[in-house]
Amino acid sequence: MRGLPPLLLAAALALLAAPFGARLLAQALGADAEPFPADRLAGLALTHAGLALAGVLPAALLGMGLGIAVTRRAGRGLRPAADAFAAAAQAVPPVVVVALAVPAFGFGLWPTAFALLLYGLMPVLRATVAGLESVPPDIRAAAVAIGLPPSRVLSEVEWPLAWPVVLDGLRIALVLGVATAAVGALAGATTLGTPIVLGLQNQNQVLVVQGAAATAALAFAAEGLLLMATGRRAGDAA
């Protein structure tokens, strides 16, 4: 039930983003700009969620694969490079990555896609490595000693034990993906960040509130749904 508060928060923010909610708030603020229509906002939310998912999911799969590879005996040599890369990516926020990607990819969807790839890959890679390393060595040793072949040691013992940590990484990746897709509006991607940027440029506070509330609602929804998934897993085991 850890997922319930974020989901409730997401619902409240979505109400705030809806035109009547935004208009109420605008009146309270003394602004009288015309709100963004609900159907266009919903369309943007859908593109936003789709973009974040389409960017983060393949990257997350890659992150899990790399995380498994660098914890195997053969891939251990790549470990320092993966650690350094992950640490460096953490030092640079999505907005800077999107900006740095513009010269390379031009305006449009691609800088955002690149940033989504990076922020999908890194948290999942880190979490996968951390999760696999948290498996007690004696349990792995016992699995080998009773005759599990390496692939089964991974699939039956290491992966199930690492999974909660990996799922945590997936959650962080998805939430970061929602934030990255929002920032992508600055580089020409059409997402929920677009009304925010438009509103900031035209001093239209209603648009700013709508875009910000809708983006935050999406992020909390992603967080809530994945927390639910984590909770269910933990419940299964108990």
Partner 1 sequence: MIAFEDVVVRFGATTALDGVSLQVGAGELCALVGPSGSGKTTLMRLVNRLVTPHAGRVLVRGEDIARTDAPALRRSIGYAMQSVGLFPHRTVAQNIGTVPRLLGWDRTRIARRVTELLGLLRLDAALADRLPGALSGGQAQRVGIARALAADPDILLMDEPFGAVDPITRRELRAELRRIHAETRKTILLVTHDPEEALELGTHVVVLRDGRIVADGPPAEIIGPGSDAFARDLLGGGQPALRRLSLLPATEALDATPPPPGAPELPEEASLADALSLMAETGQDRVALAGQDGSVAVATVLRPGA
Partner 2 sequence: MKAAPALAACVAAAALLLPLPWLSVAPNRLLPGEPLSALAALGWLVAPPCLLLGLPALDRVPPTVAAALALAAALLLLVLTGGAAAERLQGLPPAARAGLGIGLWLALVAALVLAAIRMQPLALATRALLVAAALAALLAAASSGAFDALSLAVEYRNRADAVQAALLRHVALATAALLLALLVAAPLAWAGFRHPRLAGPVGAVFAGVQVVPGLALFALLIPLLAALLHAVPALRDLGLAAIGPAPAVIATAAYLTLPLWRGLSAGLAAADPAAVAAAHAIGMGEARITREVRLPLALPVFAAGLRVALVQAIGLVTLGGLVGAGGLGALVFEGLAQFATDLMLLGAIPIVLLALLADGLVRSAETRLAVAA
Residues that bind partner 2 (CB under 8 A): 5-6, 9, 25, 28-31, 75, 77-81, 84-85, 87-88, 90-96, 99-100, 102-104, 107, 175, 178-179, 182-183, 185-187, 193, 196-197, 199-200, 205, 208-209, 211-213, 215-216, 219-220, 223
144-173 residues in contact with partner 1 (CB under 8 A) are 144-149, 152, 156-157, 160-161
Q: In angstroms, what is the minimal distance from the CB of 137 to partner 1?
A: 9
Phi-psi region of 97 (alpha: psi -120 to 50; beta: other; left: phi over 0): alpha
- The number of residues that bind partner 1 (CB under 8 A) is 19
Question: What is the b/e burial string over 175-190, where b = at least 16 CB atoms within 10 angstroms of the residue's CB?
Answer: bbbbbbbbbbbbbbbb
Nearer to partner 2, 82 or 143 (CB): 82
- Of partner 2, partner 1, none, which one sits near residue 22, judging by CB under 5 to 8 A according to partner kind? none
Q: In angstroms, what is the minimal distance from the CB of 126 to partner 1?
A: 22
Measured in Å, how far apart are the chain's first and last C-alpha atoms? 15
Dihedral sign from CA coordinates of 114, 63, 214, 95: negative
CA distances from 136 to 9, 185, 230 (A): 38, 44, 21
> Which amino acid appears at position 15 of this protein?
L
The contact set with partner 1 (CB under 8 A) reads 136, 138-139, 141-149, 152, 156-157, 160-161, 237-238
